[in-house]
């Protein structure tokens, strides 16, 4: 199939391009990019794309799958559907399923399950063929993080080399690891394997039973606080180990202004680290918790306004390399309880791009290139994956986005099986039209 996208706004962080172009795509490859393309075959499908944005495919660093073990929250198929609907062409799932992804057999099982789900729809059926909003998008590439530890207490390493051979994208537990001797051992062991390793620094003793960032808002709302030092002391300890051992590390879920300062200093000193924050920490702060909406109960908790401003500045400056979605589905029953009792987390794959574009790009705080880089090419670099680009002779890994299309966030408009989002029932502006993968 050959198609010509006419006068689409091309955003390519690799080439630093943000401008209007014609883009010719044929047989899964980009054939040409030019201000105007007129030399086309008679069977070329021509699409008027004025007002639309064409960017490199979005890459999510880490999100949660309900399958296996919690299929009522999310299946692999619904996760992939939600990811494609949100513009993602690659998604990387965390290992905290049930059972935990800690052995090659389970990695192979999940890869097979994904392949069977694709074949089961039939070759002629697109991932979103029933959707009035998103025609003909292929499933994103699914990658799997392997667990670092075997047991709940986090004291015994998995067979990291075996998992690496099984094709995991990298290693993380997706939960705090407070045994620093184990962390040091992991960093030493992983050096020759060449796989990314990601840690979520958080001191659970300092965090205790807190559910909200320490400060005036936590006092006002009567919720148990978590001090910023629960994160920053853990980051400082991790950075010391990296400085000693030299193994590259990705720091997940950065949420405080002081953390941004520590990471900036470590990068300036030449430490081999990358970092990410989540999309909701860039859009919402502690003041929103006055609604007691349990979808605002996140882990780590939302920061105060100063934290949010520092995170935004950190992303723009490249101190925070990437924006992760950290899609965390929960059932209605799990979230309908007191704020402090509800599990932390919210969905986001279908919501992140429209909301980030609306509140960061359209307001002028971010350029389109800055946002797209943090959602696309930078996450790929953090994972040591090939970076996609919008240039001739490259595979078409692309996201077509309409920043003006409005839609309502409700059960029938979402592909995820869960609805734990504070934007449920609201009108949003911006929707993905199609992906190529």
The string of DSSP letters for 59-89 reads EEEEE---TTT-TTT--HHHHHHHHHHTTEE
Class of residue 209 by CB neighbours under 10 A (exposed 0-12, middle 13-18, buried 19+): exposed
Instruction: Tally the C-alpha atoms within 13 A of residue 139's C-alpha that lie toward its C-beta.
Output: 19
Output phi, psi for 12, to 5 deg.
-130, 100
Whether omega before 208 lies within 30 degrees of 0, making that bond cis, reads no
Predicted TM-score (pTM) of the model is 0.95
The CA R_g of the chain, rounded to the nearest whole Å, is: 21
Question: What b/e sequence results for 298-323 when a residue is b if at least 16 CB atoms lie within 10 Å of its CB, and e otherwise?
Answer: bbbbbbbeebbbbbbebbbebbbbbb
Q: What single-letter DSSP state applies at residue 149? A: B
**Distance of alpha carbon 303 from alpha carbon 16, whole angstroms:** 31
Neighbours of 27 (CB within 10 A): 8
Question: What is each CA distance from 249 to 177, 198, 327, in whole angstroms?
Answer: 14, 6, 22
Give the span between the Cα atoms of 94 and 7, in whole angstroms: 38
Find the catalytic residue in 60, 299, 307, 326.
Answer: 326
Determine contact, residues 405/357, Cβ cutoff 8 Å.
Answer: no
User: Residue 59: which residues within 8 A CB-CB, separation 6 or more?
Assistant: 88, 89, 90, 91, 92, 375, 376, 377, 379, 380, 383, 385
Q: Is 326 a catalytic residue?
A: yes
Answer for the pair 84, 52: CB distance below 8 angstroms, yes or no. no
Nearest Cα to Cα of residue 418 among 322, 350, 359: 350
Nearest to 315 by CA among 390, 228, 240, 257: 257
CB-based contact 200:207 (threshold 8 Å): no
Q: What is the pLDDT along the chain (437 residues), one digit of tens a residue?
A: 899 999 999 999 999 999 999 999 999 999 999 999 998 888 999 999 999 999 999 999 999 999 999 999 999 999 999 999 999 999 999 999 999 999 999 999 998 887 775 554 433 334 444 444 454 578 999 999 999 998 656 679 999 999 999 999 999 999 999 899 999 999 999 999 999 999 999 999 999 999 999 999 999 999 999 999 999 999 999 999 999 999 999 999 999 999 999 999 999 999 999 999 999 999 999 999 999 999 999 999 999 999 999 999 999 999 999 999 999 999 999 999 999 999 999 999 999 999 999 999 999 999 999 999 999 999 999 999 999 999 999 999 999 999 999 999 999 999 999 999 999 999 999 999 999 98
Tell me the domains of the chain and their CATH numbers: 58-388+408-428 (3.20.20.140)
3-state class (DSSP) for residue 26: strand
Angle at 300 between CA 285 and CA 377, to 5 degrees: 85
Rounded to whole angstroms, the Cα distance separating 139 from 126 reads 9
**What is the DSSP-derived secondary structure letter of residue 166?**
T
> What is the Cα–Cα distance from 131 to 231, expressed in whole angstroms?
41
């Amino acid at each position: 199939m050959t198609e010509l996208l006419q006068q689409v706004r091309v955003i390519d962080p690799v080439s630093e391009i943000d401008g209007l172009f014609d883009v010719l795509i044929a047989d899964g490859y980009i054939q040409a990019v030019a201000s105007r393309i007129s030399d086309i075959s008679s069977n070329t499908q021509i699409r008027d794309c004025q007002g639309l944005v064409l960017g490199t495919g979005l890459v999510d660093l880490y999100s949660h799958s309900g399958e296996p073990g919690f299929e009522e929250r999310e299946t692999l198929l619904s996760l992939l559907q939600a990811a494609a609907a949100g513009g993602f062409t690659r998604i990387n799932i965390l290992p905290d399923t049930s059972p935990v992804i800690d052995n090659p057999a389970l990695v192979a099982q999940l890869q097979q399950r994904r392949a069977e789900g694709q074949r089961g729809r039939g070759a002629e059926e697109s991932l979103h063929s029933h959707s009035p909003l998103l025609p003909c998008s292929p499933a994103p590439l699914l990658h799997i993080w392997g667990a670092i530890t075997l047991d709940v207490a986090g004291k015994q390493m998995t067979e990291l080399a075996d998992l690496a051979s099984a094709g995991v994208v990298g290693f993380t537990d997706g939960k705090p690891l407070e045994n620093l001797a184990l962390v040091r051992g992991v960093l030493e062991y992983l050096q020759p394997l060449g796989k990314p390793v990601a840690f979520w620094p958080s001191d659970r003793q300092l965090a205790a039973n807190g559910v909200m960032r320490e400060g005036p808002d936590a006092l006002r709302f009567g919720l148990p606080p978590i001090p910023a030092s629960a994160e920053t002391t853990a980051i400082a300890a991790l950075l010391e180990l990296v400085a000693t051992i030299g193994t590259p590390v990705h720091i997940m879920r950065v949420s405080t202004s002081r953390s941004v300062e520590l990471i900036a200093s470590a990068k300036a000193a030449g430490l081999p680290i990358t970092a990410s924050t989540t999309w909701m920490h860039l859009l919402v702060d502690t003041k929103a918790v006055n609604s007691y909406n349990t979808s605002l109960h996140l882990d780590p908790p939302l920061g105060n306004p100063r934290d949010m401003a520092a995170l935004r500045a950190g992303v723009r400056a490249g101190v925070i390399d990437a924006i992760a979605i950290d899609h965390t589905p929960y059932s209605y029953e799990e979230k309908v309880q007191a704020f402090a009792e509800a599990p932390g987390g919210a969905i986001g794959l279908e919501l992140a791009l429209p909301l980030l574009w609306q509140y960061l790009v359209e307001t002028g705080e971010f350029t389109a290139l800055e946002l797209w880089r943090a959602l696309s090419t930078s996450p790929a670099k953090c994972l040591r994956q090939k970076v996609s680009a919008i240039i001739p002779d490259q595979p078409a890994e692309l996201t077509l986005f309409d920043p003006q299309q409005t839609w309502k966030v409700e059960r029938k408009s979402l592909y995820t099986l869960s609805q734990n989002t504070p934007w449920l029932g609201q009108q949003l502006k911006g929707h993905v039209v199609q992906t190529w993968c």
